[in-house]
Amino acid sequence: MRLLVTGGAGFIGSNFVRHWVREHPEDRVVVYDALTYAGNRASLADVEGEIGFVHADVTDLDRARAALAEHRIEVVVHLAAESHNSRAALDPAVFFRTNVLGTQTMLEAARQHGVSRFHHVSTCEVYGELALDDPEPFTESSPYRPRTPYSASKAGADHAVRAYRETFGLPVTITNCANNYGPYQFPEKLVAMCATRALDDRPLPLYASLGHRREWLHVLDHCRAIEAVLLRGRLGETYLVGSGVEATIEEIADLVLAAAGKPPSLKQIVPDRPGHDARYLLDSSKLRSELGWAPQVGLAEGVADTVAWYRDHRQWWEPLVGAVVDEHGWGGGGAGGR
């Protein structure tokens, strides 16, 4: 199989590329990445000699078509996206450009080239938020109710993927995932932010809504889910990817502090960002029953391993700290999930 992975130098993308190269050494993987602030060629250093790389933007149709043709691509795994809600509140236009127009551009390139599969990676946030006491998780049939520019842009991308299936017969699949964490995550997201700041004995700014909850999924479990869909998933289908394990913002901070051996006094409460969703939880039973997938990394173990990774890889993350978004627009620099 010959795969093009958009956003392959990003967090989930680089982990997916590494996983696929390790598990499918007979395949050819080509990374397609614009190397924006969150795309880091260093994240691919250990597999650089085993992959192809195209430095290009997903909104560039000519470059996309050329890459698909040159590398004789059969499968596109579309991970390229702007993904941080706080940045989306400060500069929403970038999110709609990359996430909606970029997705449509890659779909069109894939249609013209004639791929055998276009897999689109999306988010639980397209469904909006759940009440903290809601007994029912989101399912594949839940209505779309995005509440932020980020989630609205991802919803638009999902609709574009389905439209290309219905109108042009493009062979597509979609996964919507829970909050990811793990190695190579840019230090603006909650677990990575807490880990890097705790290791430097700096305060952990947490949004005031400490009880807001997320479903947490280790990135390697997510990579295994995408793999299962690519190998066994039904064309035209959507699969939700979740661990079933929820934790509050404060519980995550406490797990990080414990793993880093740092005191709870590092926690610092800051004002919420606009549109801060209370809770996400996915019903991943379709993925589990149809494709035999199940998460393998427990939350406490995964967070501890992630903190250890950041402790051992300062050379990777220390140069990135200065690019973390300044959330002064609503009172300051916190984190509370995606």
Better pLDDT: 3 or 336: 3
What does the pLDDT average to over 203-214? 91
**The tokens of 187 are what?**
């230090």
Tell me the per-residue pLDDT of 65-76, one tens digit each, with 9 for 90 and over. Answer: 999 999 999 999
Tell me the per-residue pLDDT of 266-310, one tens digit each, with 9 for 90 and over. Answer: 999 998 767 677 899 999 999 999 999 999 999 999 999 999 999
- What residues contact 184, with CB distance under 8 A and at least 6 apart? 11, 14, 15, 40, 43, 219, 316
Look over the chain and give the mean of its residue pLDDT values, rounded to a whole number. 94
Q: What is residue 226's predicted lDDT score, i.e. its pLDDT?
A: 98
Tell me the per-residue pLDDT of 24-55, one tens digit each, with 9 for 90 and over. Answer: 999 999 999 999 988 999 999 999 999 999 99
Residue 259 identity (one-letter amino acid): A
Better pLDDT: 325 or 250: 250
**Residue 172: closest CA among 221, 247, 107, 125:** 107
Q: What is residue 275's predicted lDDT score, i.e. its pLDDT?
A: 67
Question: Lowest mean pLDDT: which of 114-123, 126-135, 265-274?
Answer: 265-274
Question: Is residue 324 predicted with pLDDT exceeding 70?
Answer: no
Q: What is residue 38's predicted lDDT score, i.e. its pLDDT?
A: 85
Distance CA 301, CA 298 (A): 5
Question: Is residue 331 predicted with pLDDT exceeding 70?
Answer: no
Q: What is residue 336's predicted lDDT score, i.e. its pLDDT?
A: 53
For tokens 């967090």, the residue is 11
Fold entry, domain 2-180+216-241: Rossmann fold (3.40.50)
What confidence tier does 334 reach under pLDDT thresholds 50, 70, 90? low
**The tokens of 29 are what?**
């993987």
Tell me the per-residue pLDDT of 91-118, one tens digit each, with 9 for 90 and over. Answer: 899 999 999 999 999 999 999 999 999 9
Supply angle C-alpha 304, 305, 311, rounded to 5: 90
Other beta carbons less than 10 A from residue 287's beta carbon: 24
Question: Is residue 328 predicted with pLDDT exceeding 50?
Answer: no
Fold entry, domain 186-214+246-280+297-327: UDP-galactose 4-epimerase; domain 1 (3.90.25)
Select the highest-mean-pLDDT range: 165-169, 188-192, 204-208, 330-334.
165-169
**Residue 291 vs residues 1, 228, 240: alpha-carbon distances, Å:** 20, 6, 12
**Residue 50: closest CA among 79, 22, 12:** 22
- Domain spans of the chain? 2-180+216-241, 186-214+246-280+297-327
* Model confidence, pTM: 0.94
Supply angle C-alpha 24, 26, 29, rounded to 5: 70
